[in-house]
Amino acid sequence: PPIKGEIRFENVSFSYEEGKPVLKDVSFTIKPGETIALVGETGAGKTTIISLLARFYDPQMGRILIDGHDIRNVTLKSLRKQMGIMLQDTFIFSGTVADNIRYAKPDATMDEVIKAAKTVNAHEFIMKMENGYDTEVNERGSRLSIGQRQLIAFARALLADPKILILDEATSAVDTQTEVLIQEAIEKLTKDRTSIIIAHRLSTIRNADRIFVIHNGQIVEEGNHQQLLEKRGFYYNLYTS
């Protein structure tokens, strides 16, 4: 059955190694369709939160629910089908650009592939490549810039049309023009789906419905950009220092 995309962490604690807690009693609820930005210093636990949601690991304590169902009672296959996960190192494999976009939906038609690419601003640069969508790229995506690889990953995610979108935003700098394309694409991608973005760019953070500030394995502040600045706490220090 189709899911609504509510995400709930209930008293989640997790450690990779015994005696070294990484997440400590984390609880939150994300409403269907909401966009959440996770921010916090390096090692705070941001990637760990999304790793638990995708069940790369299970928490030692607490539970994680999607639409009220404990994700441990869902098969991994159906869980991952509901989620579009984009990690920092965008995954490109050898094949054509179209194959790369079609990855999560192998039976997609060319029209669907193009439509997805257009929506996330990838169409234009693809059409400039010598064979357009049939251009071969290699595993390392070495013929593509980092920004272009990201746009391809966005097209892939959009085509898969997951209810839940997880994005570990790349830190690598891209040129100003690509930056604008990426920002627009993120806004379209997050529309009408529950999204969790480990956000590095201020524009992404400002556009989020809510921001969770992670510090030392806990959510220490929560609110939108303006509310958090007014607190003059962790968030304020992250963005004004």
Q: By the criterion CB under 5 A, which residues form the site for Mg ion?
A: 46-47
Which of the stretches 5-13, 43-51, 68-76, 219-227 binds ligand DGT when contact is defined by CB under 6 A? 43-51
Q: Is 141 among the residues that bind ligand DGT (CB under 6 A)?
A: no
Choice between 17 and 107, CB closer to ligand DGT: 17
Residue 122's binding partner among ligand DGT, Mg ion, none (Cβ under 5 to 8 angstroms by kind) is none
Q: Phi and psi at residue 23, in whole multiples of 5°?
A: -120, 135
Size of the site for ligand DGT (CB under 6 A): 11
Tell the burial category of 205 from Cβ atoms under 10 Å away from its Cβ (0-12, 13-18, 19+).
buried
User: Which residue from 6, 12, 47, 114 is in contact with ligand DGT, where contact means CB under 6 A?
Assistant: 47
What would the DSSP string read from start to end of 33-99?
T-EEEEE-STTSSHHHHHHHHTTSS--SEEEEEETTEEGGGS-HHHHHHTEEEE-SS----SEEHHH
DSSP H stretches of helix in the chain: 46-53, 76-81, 97-102, 110-119, 123-128, 146-160, 176-190, 202-207, 225-231, 234-240
CB atoms within 10 A of CB 69: 14
Residue 231's binding partner among Mg ion, ligand DGT, none (Cβ under 5 to 8 angstroms by kind) is none
Residue nearest to Mg ion (CB): 47
Q: Is 48 among the residues that bind ligand DGT (CB under 6 A)?
A: yes
Residue 59's binding partner among ligand DGT, Mg ion, none (Cβ under 5 to 8 angstroms by kind) is none
**Pair type for strands 69-70 and 7-17:** unpaired
Q: Is 56 among the residues that bind ligand DGT (CB under 6 A)?
A: no
How far apart are alpha carbons 85 and 67 in whole angstroms?
18
User: Which residue from 44, 153, 174, 196 is in contact with ligand DGT, where contact means CB under 6 A?
Assistant: 44
Residue 82's binding partner among Mg ion, ligand DGT, none (Cβ under 5 to 8 angstroms by kind) is none
Give the torsion sign (CA, 56, 61, 67, 73).
positive
Residue 239's binding partner among Mg ion, ligand DGT, none (Cβ under 5 to 8 angstroms by kind) is none
- Residue 64 bridge partners (DSSP): 9
Binding track over 2-31 against ligand DGT, x by CB under 6 A: --------------xx----x---------
Residue 79's binding partner among ligand DGT, Mg ion, none (Cβ under 5 to 8 angstroms by kind) is none
Which residues contribute to the site for ligand DGT (CB under 6 A)? 16-17, 22, 40, 42-48
